[in-house]
Amino acid sequence: MPEKSYEKSRPTIPAELRRAIEVESGHSCGIKGCFEHTYLEVHHIDENRENNTIDNLVLLCDKHHKMAHANVIDRKALREYKKLLTDSRESQIIEKINELKILIQDQKSSQPTSQLTENQPIDDKIKKLAPKRFEILNFVLYHVAIVHYEKIHNLYFEHQVEFEKGGSRLILDALRQDDDLNEDIIIDVQYFRKSYMDSSVYASWVEKKIELYELLTGRKAKGILLVVVGRESMTKDHYLDLTRKGVESCNRDISLEIYSCEELGFHPGAISSAMFQSNVKN
């Protein structure tokens, strides 16, 4: 079959879209069983060069790209190969999310959630909802800590970033996507009210979030574990030995920053203070 000729020049494939195609096939040829990772080209399955949708694009090596244009590998076969790639990537995302869920199964999201309060209006058609006091104040503390980090390092972040794909969701406390840096930066914040909360597991959470972020976006990332402690004395001596060891044992580039509530100028207070937040005599 003769090579198809085109009158108009090829529209440019956006860099983000090309990256997504490369990540989908693991930076190698999209034909199952071909592990070629050099001389890769993006192929339009329907051979319409203006149809730059992700479903119409597949990464092929030079050999299989020529076979596709010669119709040795037809469009139906290419769509089947594409489906295998998509299903495989979806499985990897679900697997990483499940690994993260298992690691943090006892850890609540930092984002406050409204719920029914104890004192409800007499009219049952009206519902009074509010997040728990400690959830609101902890949420504020997290983002005060991130702003403190931003001021120290003169680098600003998106706060409370969510990535959604199907039923899967990744929530990041803060994210810096920057093409001028070698890697994007993910900040994960933890608040240690008491010294017994010291643990090596927090670094593992950051590591899993980095892996999932890279899988979802195709961008490289490093992590900052930002720990806020309730007392200044907890920043010294051996209070956070387990957390430090957890960071040191990670295979990923993760660094540790420790701030006290005194340094931040904000303390969420005792959880028991919620007992005094209202005075309604029924």
* Position 204 in a domain: yes
78-85 contacts, C-beta under 8 A, 24 or more apart: 78/43, 78/45, 79/45, 81/30, 81/31, 81/32, 82/30, 82/45, 82/55, 82/58, 84/32, 85/24, 85/25, 85/30, 85/58
Residue 1's pLDDT is 46
* Position 105 in a domain: no
Structural contact between residues 221 and 253, judged by C-beta atoms closer than 8 angstroms: no
* Position 146 in a domain: yes
Closest CA to 172 of 217, 137, 130: 217
Residue 11's pLDDT is 78
pLDDT in tens, 7-54: 566 778 888 888 888 888 888 898 888 888 888 999 999 988 889 988
* Position 255 in a domain: yes
Domain limits at 144?
117-264
User: Mean pLDDT of successive 10-residue segments in the chain (282 residues)?
Assistant: 55 84 85 86 90 90 92 90 77 67 56 74 80 88 96 96 78 94 95 88 90 86 95 85 93 94 90 71 66
- Both 123 and 220 in one domain: the answer is yes
- Under the phi-then-psi rule, with left for phi > 0, alpha for psi from -120 to 50, and beta for the rest, what region is 210? alpha
The angle at the Cα of 96, spanning 95 to 99, to the nearest 5 degrees, equals 90
- Both 247 and 121 in one domain: the answer is yes
- Both 132 and 260 in one domain: the answer is yes
- Both 150 and 239 in one domain: the answer is yes
Residue 103's pLDDT is 55
The answer to whether the predicted template modeling score (pTM) of the entire model surpasses 0.75 is no
* Position 272 in a domain: no
- Both 122 and 259 in one domain: the answer is yes
Can you list the positions of beta strands (E) in 136-280? 158-165, 168-176, 184-192, 221-229, 254-260
